[in-house]
Each structure stands twice: as C-alpha cells, then as structure tokens.
Amino acid sequence: MPGFELFGAEERKQVNEVLETGVLMRYGFEGARNNRWKAKEFEKAFAQRMEVAHCQLVSSGTAALTVALAAAGIGAGDEVIMPTFTFVASFESIITLGAVPILVDIDDTLTLDPKAVEAAITSKTKCVMPVHMCGSMADLKALKSICQKNNLILLEDACQAIGATFEGKPLGSYGDLGCFSFDYVKTITCGEGGAVVTNNKTFALHADHYQDHGHDHIDKDRGAENHPFLGYNYRISELNAAVGLAQLDKLNGILKIQERNYSILREALSTIEGVSFRSVPESGIENYSFLSFFLPSKELAEQAHKAMTEAGLDACFYWFNNNWHYIKGWSHLRDLKSLGKLPAEIINQMQDLNAMDFSKSDAVMGRTISVLIKLGWTESEVKERGQLMGETITKLLEKA
Ligand SMILES: Cc1ncc(COP(=O)(O)O)c(C=O)c1O
C-alpha cells in the first residue's frame, strides 16, 4: 500500500509552503502563517473525498481509533468487539481507554464474522469494530443491522482500505465513525498521520476537542480556551498534513494502478484448481492494495509461501505466522503484559485469550496468502510476476 512510491515534487511544494512560514503547528499563529492552514485544508478535502460531513486529522491511525472510540463515549469496562486478524493497534486503542477488547472469529472476508459478533454481544458491549484488512471489507450490511438492533456503535477501521467502497459509499463512511492511517506504508502517506471521519456532529465535536487536550477551539487565543472535558494530544503537525494534501490528490491515480496490477495477478491465478480468492461482500469494491487468496490447506499455503519467496517473489505475506497481524503472534497481548497496572475492568472482564478457541480463524488464516500490490511495476513486470506465481503454485499443487 505504498503511497511513498509516488512521492515527489507535489509533496515537496506543499511542505515548502509550510517551511516558508515556519508555522509547523495546525492551530494559532495567524499573523505568521500567511493564511496557510494545511491540516484544515486536508480535513476539508478528505471529508469531501470520503463523502462525509466531518473529518478530524490526528497523529496516527492508532490515535484515530483511540479518538474515535473516545468521541463515541467508550470508556472503562465498555466492551468493543474486534477481529482476530488485524493490527495490534485495534487492541491498544481499546485498552488505552480502559475499555475491553472482545476478540471474535473472522470468516472468509478476512474480517469479522457477523455470526461471531452476534454471539459475543453482552450487556456491556458498546461498539463493533470491523477492520478492513488488506483492502477489502467485512459484511457491513449485516454488521450495521446487528448494531442497529443492539444499539451499538459501528466503528470501521479502514486504515488498510482507503478508496474501497461498500454499497457505493467510501469505506469508513458507512458506519458511525471511520478511521484511517497515513503512516509510511499506507496507500497514501504523510509520514505519520491519521483521520477520523463521521457524519455525527457530536462525535465530530468530541473528536476535535479530545485530540487537543479538550480545548474547545472557540476562542482564537489558545490560552483562553475552555475545556468541556478531558483530552490528550493526538494532534497532527502542519508538515505531515502538507504531505497528506499532496498525496490525497494522487489517491485516485494510485487506486487505478492498483486495480490494473491486481487484475493481472488475479487473472494469472484464476484458472488454478485449488486456488480460491478472499470473499468480498456483495456490493463491495476493494481498493486492490493486496491480492488475498486461499490454498486448500494450511500445509500447502505454508509451502506455497515458501516456494514463492524462494522463486524471488517479494511482498508475499503469510499472516498466520506473522507477529504483527494475527492473534497467534500476540503473546504480549494474550498475557496482558503491561508496564504498569491495567484498569480493574480490563483484568476482570478480559477473555482468557490463551484458552479461547479461535480454530475458525485459524482455518481461514492458515490457508491465506496475501500479495502486496506495488505501484512501480510496469504492466509487463506484473504479467511476468503473475506467470511465475502461477507456475510456482501449480507445480506445488501438482506434487501434492
Ligand atoms: C488495520 C490497521 N489499523 C490501525 C493501524 C495503525 O495505524 P498507525 O500506524 O498510523 O498508527 C494500522 C497500521 O498498520 C493498521 O494496519
């Protein structure tokens, strides 16, 4: 998902405009900033692109999740349902607020299985957090209906799926709140940064205050601002926002290149008996940042991944054995290892993650390989790559 592949003069121009004023902060300093408001401009443009009323920029995707949860009033002891396949940030943002992550199985969409979500709801559940991993989505229609029935917040983690759509709506805009990351390896990057989007005016106001120490942003003099409630510092800087503005202009072009490269690779694998593809819910359109496919068994997926790597195919991921993205590799979270004491609600309510049966997730993840789609590949390079992938997997399956 590397927007950094298309980093150039446009980003430098935007950053230079900030450097010329020397005002690196997104608030205040009206006299010196020469009317340059990169964060504000990015928020306006991003809200427009995501077809929502409000966007709040923050310092990272993890900050976006934390701010979004806080903005929705999630706090100590509230349960947030999240998938077993995600990034550790989902877990961290929930725990940070004293809330309790409840992990449930994924299905062949590679994110929340609606049936598992329904079964995990208790009187303490406040929020369902699908994580749109690797460019595609959960069955959002089913999840929204579960949330509406049970009066729960639907918070989409769209950090890895910017530009994908569901029922014609940009991912992130379908739920009550949506979160994005612009870290260095995301589809568009600003080095470090993130965004919360929402159509809910109250959540937007809460996010605005919470990410800047609770300041109400009503008075121009920062020292004179009031604080309706507690907040922290999750602000983005003008420099990061400037890069993001230039990258946002490139998003549609990036998505086009991804779709072309993805389609060529998918075509190359589509006739191989034994290979099937990640399921995309009806009316969903991926952002094509990864091609994710299944082999018939865990053993074959492991062998295929090894054979692909040995054949010189880079950027192929076998998440099942990856320490960042699947519960199997998160011993520090399963054991709740923390530098200081965790809130009692977390200690008392947490599932025993070492004892939980996530065999349904294992059955999906054990068979999954994801190939990152790069932007810099020429059409003929992608075709060669597709051919080599096809030959490598076919050879392996024929031997099996
Ligand atoms: C699905 C998902 N959520 C959240 C994050 C956190 O984003 P950041 O690195 O900007 O904190 C990431 C980053 O990899 C991610 O992949």
pLDDT in single tens digits along all 400 residues of the chain? 677 888 999 999 999 999 999 999 999 999 999 999 999 999 999 999 999 999 999 999 999 999 999 999 999 999 999 999 999 999 999 999 999 999 999 999 999 999 999 999 999 999 999 999 999 999 999 999 999 999 999 999 999 999 999 999 999 999 999 999 999 999 999 999 999 999 999 999 999 999 999 999 987 788 888 899 999 999 999 999 999 999 999 999 999 999 999 999 999 999 999 999 999 999 999 999 999 999 999 999 999 999 999 999 999 999 999 888 999 999 999 999 999 999 999 999 999 999 999 999 999 999 999 999 999 999 999 999 999 999 999 999 999 8
Q: Which residues line ligand 1 (CB under 6 A)?
A: 60-62, 86-87, 89, 131, 157, 159-160, 181, 183, 194
CA of 89 to the centre of ligand 1 (A): 6
Dihedral angle sign, alpha carbons of residues 242, 13, 253, 45: positive
CB-CB contact of 209 with 71 (8 Å): no
**Structure tokens belonging to residue 395:** 């050879």
Phi then psi for 14, rounded to 5 degrees? -60, -45
CA of 192 to the centre of ligand 1 (A): 10
Catalytic residue among 38, 126, 144, 186: 186
Contact 91, 101 (CB under 8 A): yes
Ligand 1 atom showing the smallest separation from residue 185 Cα: 14
Q: Which atom of ligand 1 is nearest to the CA of 133?
A: 1
Output the CA 223–ligand 1 centroid distance in Å.
33
Q: Which residues contact 359 (CB under 8 A, 6 or more apart)?
A: none
How far is ligand 1, taken at its centre, from the CA of residue 2, in Å? Answer: 13
Angle 10-12-14 from CA coordinates, rounded to 5°: 70
Q: Choose which residue among 88, 160, 292, 372 to substitute to test ligand 1 binding: the one with the highest number of ligand atoms within 8 A of its C-beta.
A: 160
Tell me if residue 186 is catalytic: yes
Question: Quick one: tokens of 103?
Answer: 């992990």
Answer yes or no: are the C-beta atoms of 203 and 55 closer than 8 Å.
no
- How much is the pTM? 0.97
As a whole number of angstroms, the distance between CA 105 and CA 114 comes to 9
* Alpha-helical segments (H) within 30-113: 38-49, 61-71, 88-96
Ligand 1 atom 10 nearest Cα: 61
